[in-house]
Homo-oligomer: A and B are copies of this chain.
Amino acid sequence: MSIEKKIKDLAVAVKAAARTLAAASTREKDLALRAMAANLRKRRDFLQDKNRLDLDKALENGLSPAMIDRLTLSDQVIEGMAAGLEEVAAFPDPVGEIVRMWRRPNQLQIGKMRIPLGVVGMIYESRPNVTADAAGLCLKSGNGVILRGGSEAFHSNMAVLEVLHEALETTAIPASVVQVVPFTERQAINYLLACEDEIDLIIPRGGEGLIRFVVEHSRIPVIKHYKGVCHVYVDNGADPEMAKNIVLNAKTHRPGVCNAAETVLVHQEMAAGFLPELVDALKDGGVEIRGCARTCAQVPGLIPAAESDWETEYLDLIIAVKVVDDLDAAIAHIVEYGSDHTETIVTRDYQRAQDFLRRINSSVVMVNASTRFSDGGQMGLGAEIGISTTKLHAYGPMGLEGLTTTKYIVYGNGQIRE
């Protein structure tokens, strides 16, 4: 049988299992999640044996230490996967929730009820823990899921799947609700993206190249984000201490992630008093600074920023700094160079805070808080399956609710249209 046919059959099987899952009770789903967690802990040795196959190959291929770190199923990572599933079991079930209900003049009672999307296709790179995390979120939200991890994590992903299937076989949930594409060929992604009758949503996670490839080849709707060029705007009259803390936290708390800040915009009246202090603090934090002409004039010895710096996601201890005339100029800069991810203003002014929140339409807009809070867990959404910078369906951190849709329900007593 061809790879194409095998992937299609897998998708058909997941879709059928997802129908059963959609009708499962919250209790059945939570029991399944806890069984999956328990089995991950129990089968730790098996997982690490299989993981070793991937690690050996990675060493052979000379992968970077950072890549190897992301690939490793350490005791801690396995415990994290198990604990993550138990956390998801403890979240409220989004399925069946009545979002709103209203009554029409003809007495029809109309409401919106949350239902699963159906089947989610997840395409990602390296980290094998994503396999368990995504399986848990999809199961809780009533969705089947087909996972396609990176070829470098192939044995690890298949092992995680085997352990999850063992657990599911002891529960009311059919094991087929979770599947991994058992092919490492790039072409397998194309076949997956062609299963438009079986898969309702594709979520790619990884580098920009992978995401663009998926968008280009998919007939299935894709929820994606390309990059996070997040801004901190330090307004005229902002508390300098608060501004400094927020910029430092946004840049240095974890520079390699998408909600880290990449550009600081500073109001011109803050340039003389605040900028030198900010630069010192950033340098103390090991951050390289690339300044606009006005910034460099204020603080001598900085690297001048090139035009390309304003649209770069450094994912590193580098930050671009620009002096702007006012709030309007800050907003114009963010609209021109931003990536619709997360922006924050540091201000004491009520009206400018409100204007910033209202006029910027990035997926997360903040006042006086670090961009690092732009995260499903931090924002109270439970866990997070991804962050979307496309506006359709989900925009911003996407948790369990983002994996559902709503149908209309109508209670009548014999109404017909006149």
Contact = CB atoms under 8 A, between A and B. Distances in A.
10 contacts: A104-B378, A216-B219, A246-B416, A248-B416, A367-B411, A368-B411, A370-B415, A370-B417, A379-B410, A397-B408
Interface stretch (A41-49, A69-77, A356-364): A356-364
Nearest to A390: B221
Interface stretch (A110-118, A124-132, A176-184, A279-287): A110-118
Nearest to A239: B414
B23 A410 contact: no
Interface residues on chain A, size class: 35 or more
Nearest to A404: B391
Given A104-B380, A344-B410, 17 more contacts: A19-B335, A108-B373, A113-B357, A113-B358, A117-B392, A216-B219, A242-B414, A248-B416, A366-B411, A368-B411, A369-B411, A369-B414, A369-B415, A373-B412, A391-B405, A395-B405, A395-B406
Interface string A192-203: 000000001100
Contacts of A206: none
A253 interface: yes
A294 interface: no
Contacts of A308: none
A410 B118 contact: no
A374 B96 CA distance: 20
A273 to B, nearest CB: 19
Contact of A407 (B201, B396, B405): B396
B378 A417 contact: yes
A53 to B, nearest CB: 36
A263 B17 CA distance: 27
A409 B396 CA distance: 10
Contacts of A412: 366-369, 373
A341 to B, nearest CB: 11
A89 interface: no
A215 interface: yes
A245 B374 CA distance: 53
A249 B416 contact: yes
A391 B113 CA distance: 13
A231 interface: no
B417 A364 contact: no
A391 B199 CA distance: 11
Interface in A330-377: 335, 344, 353, 357-359, 361-370, 372-374
